[in-house]
Amino acid sequence: MNDLGLSGVSDIVFVIGGSLGIHEDIMKRADFKLSMSDLTFPHQLARLMLAEQIYRAFKIIRGEPYAK
């Protein structure tokens, strides 16, 4: 996240796939791929988990404490 910001990237798009995954065409366009788990999560939970990880990343980048 920090490297993207420092390199001038101003748009980041996160795509959360369904239970069958993400279409091959979308996967080909991705610059970076991240997997939360081999498990399947409800869409709303996946969104919450992603938001928490983004929050955590920015806390770490800023050198602020993050409760474990």
Q: Where are the domains of the chain?
A: 2-61
pTM metric for this prediction: 0.76
pLDDT at 45: 95
Q: What is the pLDDT of residue 68?
A: 67
Question: Region 35-41: what's the mean pLDDT?
Answer: 88
Mean pLDDT across the chain, nearest whole number? 87
pLDDT digit string, tens, across residues 54-67 = 999 889 888 998 77
- Find where tokens 């770490």 sit: 60
Q: What is the CA radius of gyration of the chain?
A: 14
- Name the CA dihedral angle for 11, 7, 51, 58, rounded to a multiple of 10 degrees: -140
- Band the pLDDT of 46: cuts 50, 70, 90: very high
Report the C-alpha gap between 9 and 59 in whole angstroms.
Answer: 19
Is pLDDT of 42 > 70? Answer: yes
